[in-house]
Amino acid sequence: MRETERKADSSEEEKVQGGQKELEEMVLRTGFCAGCGACVNLCPYQASYRDRTVILHRCDLAQGRCFAFCPRTPADLTDMKSRFYDEADLTHELGAVKGFFIARAAQEGNRRRSQHGGVVTALMTLALREGLIDAAVLTERGEELLPRAVTVSEPEAAAQLGGSRFVVSPTVAEFNRALRTDCRRIGVVATPCQALALAKMRLQPLAAAESGMDRLKLVVGLFCGWALSWRPLTDILKKKTDLAAVIGMDIPPSRYHTLEVYMPEETVRFSLDELTPCVRESCRSCADMTAEFSDLSVGSARLPEGWKAARLWNQVIARTKRGRDLLELARRRGVLEFREVPAGNLEKLKAASLNKKKAASRPPGQGNTGDRMGQAG
């Protein structure tokens, strides 16, 4: 994000407003926990278990980082955006937009291993290879489709970890752990809630060098309409599939109303009606579809040729100079290839994002679930 951002101070708006007790009352007990892991690996008191956050020990601190960093605790998002992004780039619907692109990984093999156009995987691999970062916090598939956050330092390792997981991973918990290692330049692939948590961490009163947040050098965000709870999802998938044999999943555009589960010899389809009960409660009140607190945001493309062609491309929002420079480096190195953005695509994305913001403001039970999950790598 912007190297010239205004530093946080100790004013009233910056003060931590709660601790573990308030976190439990406002987030964990209410079902609003995003499972991002922002409150984990700061102290021994919280832990990530499967796709949940659990309290291991009680803490009586009146003010704590666990509460301050949580993406579901109160924050002035407008003020935060003004700190991180150029005012001229800010839009109501999408946050900061320095550029909007349709792109994909140039190598077909990278696209096959990744989700849609493979842009996220290509960019993280390039950033490691070029020394822009020396560690990447990514997500790998664990047992029975349960995602696992990992830190990798080799480009070849990053290239193998493409694809959407559809279940939350405690990515920020892994970032907190990486801060205790000798990694000096860290990049993170983050969902909207995870990117917001990282942004809140950057605004803590501690100096950047003291907190270690000066080592966060790149945030690549994922478009996301909603995530699924792991246990209910796997219970449904087990009815028609062997979880160990699943090699990937995808959700086509909303008119298909389907989750596609890829097996070695077939594709098994589930109606989204079956999956609606699996949507995490916290996602129903999330207003961010495009990971607005990132350097770059990536989602599946929309093309006039239809889904068969579009699923091979990504749409990309460059939000910061750092993000735009990385895209241009990828163009020069031949890592990404670009095509012309179809007329009206940006406006359609703005409309979809605005719909999610409106849905998030509705009372429970009034259509707070978006049409489609948008995570894509």
- Which residues of the chain carry a pLDDT beneath 50? 2-14, 16, 365-377
> Alpha helices, DSSP H only, in the chain?
20-23, 65-69, 77-84, 108-113, 119-129, 155-159, 171-178, 192-202, 208-211, 230-237, 272-275, 307-310, 321-332, 345-360
**Rounded to an integer, what distance in angstroms lies between the CA atom of residue 185 and that of residue 132?**
7
Give the list of residues 6+ apart from residue 69 with CB closer than 8 angstroms, or none: 38, 39, 42, 172, 197, 200, 201, 204
What is the residue extent of each domain of the chain? Answer: 75-229+280-360, 230-278
- CATH number given to 230-278: 3.10.450
**Rounded to an integer, what distance in angstroms lies between the CA atom of residue 366 and that of residue 48?**
30
pLDDT at 205: 84
First vs last C-alpha separation in the chain: 20
pLDDT at 364: 52
**Rounded to an integer, what distance in angstroms lies between the CA atom of residue 216 and that of residue 182?**
13
pLDDT at 114: 77
**Rounded to an integer, what distance in angstroms lies between the CA atom of residue 237 and that of residue 233?**
6
Amino acid at 90: L
**Rounded to an integer, what distance in angstroms lies between the CA atom of residue 297 and that of residue 59?**
36
pLDDT at 363: 61
Q: Quick check: 83 and 6 in contact, CB under 8 A? A: yes
Q: Residue 168: name the closest of 221, 230, 258 by CA.
A: 230
- The fraction of the chain above a pLDDT of 70, given in percent, is 92
**Rounded to an integer, what distance in angstroms lies between the CA atom of residue 104 and that of residue 154?**
21
**Rounded to an integer, what distance in angstroms lies between the CA atom of residue 173 and that of residue 51?**
12
Q: Is the pTM of this model over 0.75?
A: yes
Residue with token string 């939000």:
319
